[in-house]
Structure 1
Amino acid sequence: MMFFGFAVVYGLRVNLSVAMVAMVNGTNDQSSSNSNISIDCPVPNHTLDNNSQSSEQPEGIPRYSWDSETQGMLLGAFFFGYLFTQIPGGYLSGRFGGSLFLGGGVLGTAVLTLLTPLSAQLGAKWLFALRALEGFGEGVTFPAMMAMWARWAPPLERARLMTFSGAGSNFGAFVALPLTGFICHSLGWPAVFYSCGAAGCLWAVFWFILVSDEPRTHPRISDREKHYIINSIGSQGMPHGWSVPVLSMLFSVPLWAIIISQMCSNWSYYTLLTSLPTYMDTVLHFDLQQNSFLSALPYLAGWLFSVGSGVLADNLLERKLLSVTAVRKIFTFIGLFLPAAFLLAVGFTGCSGVLAVTFLTLSSALGGFSAAGVYINQIDIAPRYAGTLLGITNTFGTIPGVLAPIVVGYLTRDVRCVLYFVTLQLLKIIHHHQSCDFYMFPLPLISEQHSVTGWRHVFWLSAGVSAFGAIFYVIFGTGKIQSWARTDEESDTDIHN
């Protein structure tokens, strides 16, 4: 249920990215869109025709004249709400149980998604507010998941259970990206939000019927399974109450190791999530249908490798070949440092779409190993407060989602065009004594062009950030329960031992 739930969550999150192409009247900003085409890579003859055909809408479907700035604000609105409910969601899930918050978060977001066509018709401000509310609702889902697994997942099965459920997000992105493009083309963009919203509501019905907060209250599992889970987890599976050791958390080096490494990993993830379709459009010149499919390939690879990494990590622990700390550090290093190498390679691919997609897919595939590393480390160092910790780490981890698109926009502007025209105008002034008014050309239009060099810097920056996160975690990370997270029962046992 969690796997499909997070597939729905990411479907609700990314649907606007592809639907925006169909929602906006492309002819309104034609000159601007043409100026965004890379001057480095040749444009295939069929690309412009395919793009215009694939973005056509059935008769009667409204389209809007939103400029690029408005579109960017609408796409980023989700994260404004998403930031604010991470920590409260984790704390309340640890106190009262996560099933209500996870199910309620998905249901609320799904209902709001159904209102997307109406809010778009009312205006961009209404759609911005709606997307922010969707982020507000989804913000509790991942902390609630962590709080639930703290009560359900035996220590030797944590990696496979948590990576499989969390892998639903990659699976959801893989399915949603091409499916959204198909629905937009065949049924019109409003059908995207109606179908995604309906899927979320349907999932929520089954969730509330089938799922319980903890083994003790589940009516359909056997007594043998119930006792096994309860005895394996021990007192760490109990609610943490109202008191939380906030100061101890703030000064916990292992927690900061998780925060820093997740921020670094998320920088690459959100860079691809928000900007990969733009790169494939403006530099590699794939048409809309190719773009939506190829943009989904890295998420398919990440999904498969994250599930496999969870099984492998648990096998290493069950056979006692490695400690929890060693497993988390090795898998985090593989999941952050090796993808950085392939991101570096992408910077050298130039105009080769085949090589670029291959290296990006390999980078995302190896990144799946971190799912069994740093991304489940909260439950290792403080099982009782796992939901709260995930809320804290996810809050910091969302910051790259806000900053990465801005940095990408800055790095991909082709300053060579500006320098060329400035030099040209200065030469004309020197030789022909033209007035200063002559060289007041439209710099914003010129500087909007995307260059291979600019995107190379994007990938290299992501590679450097990811490599730093890997090294930082290897030095400061751990898989041991922290002293401030131990229960009174565990502390007494340690004293007597």
Structure 2
Amino acid sequence: MAVIYCSISMRSHIGVAMVCMINATAVHEMAEQKVPKLNLLIPTATTEATPIEAQCSRHTLNQSEIVESGYKGTFLWSTEMQSLIISASFYGNFLIIWFTGYFCDVYGPRIVALIGVFGMSVATCLSPTIASWNYYVFFGLRMIFGLFESPALPSMSAMAARWFPPSERSTIAAIITSGNQLSASLGVVIATNLCSLHFLDGWPLIFYLAALIGFTWCILWGFFATDNPSDSKFLSQEEKDYLFEENGKHHQSSAERKQSGQKMPLKSMIFSKATFAVISAQFAFNFTNTMMQAYLPSYSRDVLVLDLKENGIFTALPFFIQLISKISMGIFADFLKRKQILSPTTSCKIFQSLASFGCGIIYAIMALYVDCTKTTEALVLLGFFGFFLGGAIPGSFTASLSIAPMYAGMIASFTLIAGAFGNILAPAVVGFFVEKVCGFYFV
């Protein structure tokens, strides 16, 4: 859970920081002087009323009101430049993601995760200085960050497959990935409050806090973590024997596989229907989740016309609800499997269907119904979005841990490749609709 929290905080909080870094008024005026074109955009604030904002009492802000609302940035980065910064870590992630599962299965998830989080922490710590110095160097730094971020999920998937029996995997999947929602709920509230501070202009503190948490995690992980339960100093022999019986006999080290002549069945995994199912679900999950995490602060500012503190609450709510939902659904799914009410396969299908159809319906309602006069309805819909999205954990994520436990790291790598396409495509889709559909941010 902690490694996912570190990873998501250091990646996605750039969305909150960007809201505070950019002089949105100046950027909007600059954009009006150019001929509109299709870009990979991140939505930017405007102080002029759109047709939707004209219905609101608070649609035009003077300079003092902008500062009071918390949006007091000084960077003059165009919408295209902002989008590239948001996407940079995904490009870096995409370059290395092909190999991370292999590294986890061959070298062990412990060292792979440690190197990844340490690299992310260093890059995050340097971000405020580099961003103030040169845009293009900052873009390169975010790409390097993405290289180190890639091992986080495969390493945790490999650890979960070794440390937890099949009957508990929906629950542990929910717990491990809870760092995502903690970062996107509690972390965002903290980030928006840091953003409003005058000390160091506020926004650099977001990066420094995330880096500090990352370095602290590295120290604790290096001391306590082991690749296999049999190597742990903190388990009894009875616990080690139980986990070996449940999991250990299905896991071989790279040296053991070489000695037995066993090769990784890469071709069979790639062309498996089960693999295709989980990577398709992961693409959809990353697409919707990235759109919500990266752009909800801008959506709350520009479409719902909220101030910075209200923005933090609206941004945090769906992920806080998702945290409760995914853990509850994970426990419930494991209960149904233990009682043999549902088979593991049926359980994954039902919960994944709930996530996919539910989130799709919520997005459609928000696009067609919500505007700045319906903030209460927007808050309720965001809560339901978080509830439905929680179903993906006992759904596709549990399936990815179960279809080939010995190669869980490699399967996770496949799902991350599909997810990376979703991460990269989301800004393009947002950019198209922001440019072409009169300010609607979610379609």
User: Normalization by structure 1: what TM-score?
Assistant: 0.79
Deviation by residue 1:57-81 (Cα, 9 ceiling, x = unmatched)? 6xxxx94322222111111111011
After superposition, the Cα gap between the structure-2 partners of 1:376 and 1:92, relative to the gap in structure 1 and judged at 3 Å, is same
Residue 58 of structure 2 is matched in structure 1 by 45
After superposition, the Cα gap between the structure-2 partners of 1:81 and 1:414, relative to the gap in structure 1 and judged at 3 Å, is closer
Deviation by residue 1:393-419 (Cα, 9 ceiling, x = unmatched)? 11111212111111112113356xxxx
- 1:313-462 superposed matches below 5 A: 313-351=333-371, 352-414=374-436, 450=439, 454-455=440-441, 458-459=442-443
Contact 1:86 1:143 in 2 (8 A): no
Deviation by residue 1:124-152 (Cα, 9 ceiling, x = unmatched)? 01110111111110101100111111211
Amino acid at match of 1:38: T
Cα offset for 1:35? 7.4
Residues 1:55 and 2:75 are matched in the alignment: no
Amino acid at match of 1:214: N
Secondary structure of 1:320 counterpart: coil
Query: How far apart are the structure 1 equivalents of 2:82 and 2:71?
Result: 18
Residue 284 of structure 1 is matched in structure 2 by 304
Residue 141 of structure 1 is matched in structure 2 by 152
Secondary structure of 2:435 counterpart: coil
Cα offset for 1:379? 2.0
After superposition, the Cα gap between the structure-2 partners of 1:47 and 1:235, relative to the gap in structure 1 and judged at 3 Å, is farther
Deviation by residue 1:354-399 (Cα, 9 ceiling, x = unmatched)? 1122112202212101101111212211111110111011111121
Query: How far apart are the structure 2 equivalents of 1:34 and 1:340?
Result: 28
- 1:239-254 superposed matches below 5 A: 239=253, 241=257, 243-254=263-274
Secondary structure of 1:296 counterpart: helix
Q: Which has the larger radius of gyration?
A: 1
User: Quick one: which of 6, 10, 13 aligns to 1:12?
Assistant: 10
Contact 2:359 2:385 in 1 (8 A): yes
User: Quick one: which of 255, 262, 266 aligns to 2:275?
Assistant: 255
Residue 38 of structure 2 is matched in structure 1 by none
Cα offset for 1:112? 1.2
Amino acid at match of 1:364: G
Amino acid at match of 1:211: A
Cα offset for 1:264? 1.9
After superposition, the Cα gap between the structure-2 partners of 1:67 and 1:413, relative to the gap in structure 1 and judged at 3 Å, is closer
Residues 1:98 and 2:71 are matched in the alignment: no
- 1:177-326 superposed matches below 5 A: 177-186=188-197, 187=199, 188-239=202-253, 241=257, 243-326=263-346
Amino acid at match of 2:122: V
Query: How far apart are the structure 2 equivalents of 1:379 and 1:189?
Result: 37
Larger relative contact order (CA 8 Å, sep ≥ 6): 2
Cα offset for 1:51? 3.7
Secondary structure of 2:67 counterpart: helix
Amino acid at match of 1:410: F
Contact 2:87 2:424 in 1 (8 A): yes
268-277 or 210-219: bigger deviation: 268-277
Cα offset for 1:85? 2.4
Query: How far apart are the structure 2 equivalents of 1:412 and 1:66?
Result: 17
Residues 1:176 and 2:187 are matched in the alignment: yes
Query: How far apart are the structure 1 equivalents of 2:365 and 2:205?
Result: 39
Contact 1:38 1:282 in 2 (8 A): no
- How many matched pairs? 415
- 1:126-137 superposed matches below 5 A: 126-137=137-148
Identity of aligned residues (%): 27
User: Normalization by structure 2: what TM-score?
Assistant: 0.88
The two structures, once aligned, show a CA RMSD in angstroms of 2.0
Query: How far apart are the structure 1 equivalents of 2:247 and 2:46?
Result: 59
Query: How far apart are the structure 2 equivalents of 1:354 and 1:275?
Result: 19
User: Quick one: which of 159, 169, 185 aligns to 1:158?
Assistant: 169
Cα offset for 1:30? 4.6
Deviation by residue 1:217-248 (Cα, 9 ceiling, x = unmatched)? 11111111111111111421323547322211
Query: How far apart are the structure 2 equivalents of 1:166 and 1:329?
Result: 19
Contact 1:239 1:384 in 2 (8 A): no
Secondary structure of 1:83 counterpart: helix
Unpaired stretches in structure 2, ≥5 consecutive residues: 32-44
